[in-house]
Amino acid sequence: MTRTPAVPHRPAPSHARLRPGDVARVGAAGLRARPLRVFLSAVGIAIGIAAMLAVVGISSSSRADLDRTLDRLGTDLLTVSPGSTMYGTDARLPKESARMIGRIAPVRSVSEVGRIEAHAYRNDHVPSGRTGSIEVLATRADLLRTLGGRVGAGRWLNAATARYPAVVLGSKAARRLDVRTPGVRIWLGGEWFGVAGILDPVPLARELDTAALVGWPAARHHLGFDGHPTFVYVRSAEPAVEAVRSVLAATANPEAPGEVRVSRPSDALAAQRATDETLGALLLGLGAVALLVGGIGVANTMVISVLERRPEIGLRRALGASRGQIRLQFLAESLLLSALGGLGGVLLGIAVTAGYAATQGWPAVVPLWAVAGGLAATLLIGGAAGLYPAIQASRLSPTEALSAP
């Protein structure tokens, strides 16, 4: 009896499954077939991600630098200055203001500077009108200790040099006078003053950056200083800052407390940070628009890909590929394309953040949530952009696709 040979069982095409590695290879093959178009679409995604990441990174780096500065300088500094009288004229602080403020129990240190009616010039040949907006201030020897300032070059005034024609220049004042090293002389108030030092920028007392500082005794003897302070700088115990602030005006000028201004320099830095955050939110929105435009570019690429590859789709359908597999193939291409753009955008955004932070002297900070969020947004947009073309490709029947011109 002849036995019919058994025919091996073949699974129906609908039962076939593509492994993740197969899906990735099929999707990558589709991208390699059109490298220039893929590159341009990926660039669109990369620009959007890089813009968003750079905005977040630069803003975070700026905040980190500000926090580092405040940690170093402290938030317990208060500044007292004269306001206006009831007649609209400039008020003056009493000569004893700093000494009276120093009697407040939580106050740890007090120092003062006073404006002098004099000008500083590089030499005695400079016309009198070219002052460079440099103020001349009388100062106490303990000023830097109170402000947490630092001398960038040379030395600060001491008990000896504060009595003689010596001057310390703020960072901007030195540049305007073209003084790069101590030891030279400048023409100040009709006399020659030797430059003892040059200050680093003082973030909590910007008025010192454009000032020429002379000792209190020398200002009285050589420049006719009247002894009235213009700014009184007060350091208090951190928990008592607000309490001290509330009594400073009445303590500095008991006869006219309404003519006294009291400020907290760290508040100005915090306000600056809030302004930076507002600008950052605006730029973040522009980055989102760029990312959306990149997503539209991905969608356009995938739609054209479906139209160009109808014969390929028909052949695969004729060989047994299911609608789901066709749909998965084009969706994988879209996700891979977006992932390439997203990865490039992340690297570009980190590079821009690091470069800008380096030029500003900030610590480079790129939040992990921003990187993860950028990549997630990329894949989400890529999936959304490729979904419609993938569905359209899967709906093509083998005969319709193969008959396409």
Radius of gyration of the chain (CA): 35
Angle at 9 between CA 6 and CA 10, to 5 degrees: 145
CB 198 within 8 A of CB 179: yes
Q: Whole-angstrom Cα distance, residue 357 to residue 63?
A: 11
CA torsion sign for 81, 85, 89, 91 is: negative
The total of other beta-carbon atoms located within 10 Å of residue 353's CB is 25
Say which residues have a Cβ less than 8 Å from residue 37's Cβ, sequence separation at least 6.
301, 304
pLDDT for the residue 10: 46
pLDDT for the residue 3: 54
pLDDT for the residue 69: 72
Q: Whole-angstrom Cα distance, residue 284 to residue 343?
A: 18
CB 75 within 8 A of CB 289: no
pLDDT for the residue 388: 75
Instruction: Write the CA distances from 167 to 114, 138, 178, 195, 391, integer angstroms.
Output: 14, 10, 15, 5, 78
Question: Which structure tokens are listed for 87?
Answer: 């007649």
Question: Which structure tokens are listed for 20?
Answer: 């993740």
Residue 296 burial (CB < 10 Å; 0-12/13-18/19+)? middle
Q: Residue 320: which region, alpha, beta or left (left: phi > 0; alpha: psi -120 to 50)?
A: left
Q: Whole-angstrom Cα distance, residue 369 to residue 142?
A: 45
pLDDT for the residue 270: 58
Low-confidence ranges of the chain (pLDDT < 70): 1-18, 20-24, 26-27, 29-30, 33, 71, 73-74, 88, 266-287, 290-291, 294-295, 298, 305-310, 396-405
Please state the pTM of the whole predicted model.
Answer: 0.59
pLDDT for the residue 366: 86
Domain borders along the chain are: 18-69+271-402, 77-263
- How do strand 211-215 and strand 135-139 relate by DSSP bridges? parallel
Instruction: Write the CA distances from 177 to 8, 149, 206, 215, 301, integer angstroms.
Output: 95, 21, 18, 20, 60
Question: Which structure tokens are listed for 185?
Answer: 């002389």
CB 26 within 8 A of CB 332: yes
